[in-house]
Amino acid sequence: MEKQRYPESWYPLCYSDELKMGKLLLLEVFDGELILFRSEEGTPGVVSRHCPHMGSDLSNGTIVKGRLQCPFHHRAYCIKGKCSNIPGSKKRQLGPHLKTFPLKEYFGIIFLYFGSRPKFDFPTFPRVKEKAVFSKALRKKLNTPYSSLLFNGFDTHHLTCIHNREIVSPVKMESLSPFHLGADYSMKVLVERFYDVAVKFFGIKVVDVHLDCWGGNFLIITNKKSLDNILITSVPVNARKSQFFLTTISEDRGTGLLGSFFQKLRLKMTSFLGLAFLRPDELIVEQMKPELRALDPEMDYTVVKFWEYWNSLPKNVL
């Protein structure tokens, strides 16, 4: 079965604290498997699962002095995927090497760029100018194709149908680069669920939203009346499964212990409410199979624009 091609973008792999020194993690992503481990300095690295020498399963290997050691012939690989030692060999040029990808560690999450070299920098956040503070990301695994998660943020039509929101201004879309798609819209809060009552309790009747999507899957949500950004970013597991991470990020205002406590509490609450807002979507996208040919050019305008953007992105395969 041919593997699916995915956009070259930044994808979340796991929580930072899941990757312990001296241990390895076997990850099922992009219709395949990758191995994650840390160097002696604590820097994370990701490599392909099987040894290029004889194909042994490196998930049965060990981490020795920050290098991944093959369980069969004890060849050692660094976090860059390079073979750094072959027991008994006098060759200066060692190899072959393991496939690897660039990594970044932000917001308590390890991110992978799905390409040999990033075509765009790790995205910045409108609410963060210098130092970021963030809530621990909430993670969800779904039995749904990766594509079912992608268009959801740009589907303004469903906001009225299942989220008790009424779009009260025309959606304005923009593109800052070939890897970016943005949208601005305002929506009126209609009281129906507890979540909506809680939102109106804080005096919010109309929500002005700005979306920044990078690489097709890295979605930054900015409520123009708040101090925070919500990040929703997802990664495909295989053709039928995916998972997403949701966290809230803001500028660290350095307001002392009490101010820091209340800021972190607000971030945690915002993430909780964000996940609660998405719960109806989770139930619907399970086992969903998007049919793009049936989209209405007027009613589904924002989704059509998103798919045009997504289809234009460079793709890669594991």
Q: What pLDDT, in 10s, does the model give residues 92-151?
A: 667 789 999 999 999 999 999 999 999 999 999 988 888 899 999 999 998 888 877 778
State how far the Cα of 126 lies from the Cα of 204, in Å rounded to an integer: 21
pLDDT higher at 91 or 309: 309
In order of 61, 75, 222, 315, 317, the CA distances from 87 in angstroms are 15, 7, 54, 38, 32
Alpha carbons 77 and 63: distance in angstroms, whole number: 9
Among 35-44, 167-176, 193-202, the range with the most confident prediction by mean pLDDT is 35-44
User: Does 145 sit behind a cis peptide bond, omega within 30 degrees of 0 on the bond before it?
Assistant: no
Q: Give the end-to-end CA distance of the chain in Å, rounded to a whole number.
A: 13
6-113 topology per CATH: Rieske Iron-sulfur Protein (2.102.10)
Q: What is the pLDDT at residue 257?
A: 82
CB atoms within 10 A of CB 204: 15
pLDDT for the residue numbered 201 = 55
pLDDT digits (tens, 9 = 90+) for 213-232: 999 999 999 988 788 899 99
Do 6-113 and 132-316 fold alike per CATH? no
Flag whether pLDDT at 191 surpasses 80: no
Find residue 299's DSSP bridge partners.
none
For the chain, the structural domain boundaries read: 6-113, 132-316
Q: Are 33 and 26 in contact (CB under 8 A)?
A: yes
Q: Which fold has domain 132-316?
A: Naphthalene 1,2-dioxygenase Alpha Subunit; Chain A, domain 1 (3.90.380)
Of the candidates 3, 285, 23, 261, the one whose C-alpha atom is nearest the C-alpha of residue 158 is 285
- Which pLDDT belongs to residue 179? 97
Q: What is the pLDDT of residue 199?
A: 58
pLDDT greater than 70 at residue 204? no
Which residue type sits at 230?
I
Q: Nearest Cα to 105, choosing from 137, 128, 81, 127?
A: 137
Q: Could you give the C-alpha distances from 23 to 15, 139, 224, in angstroms and in order?
A: 14, 22, 42
Is 0.85 topped by the overall pTM? yes
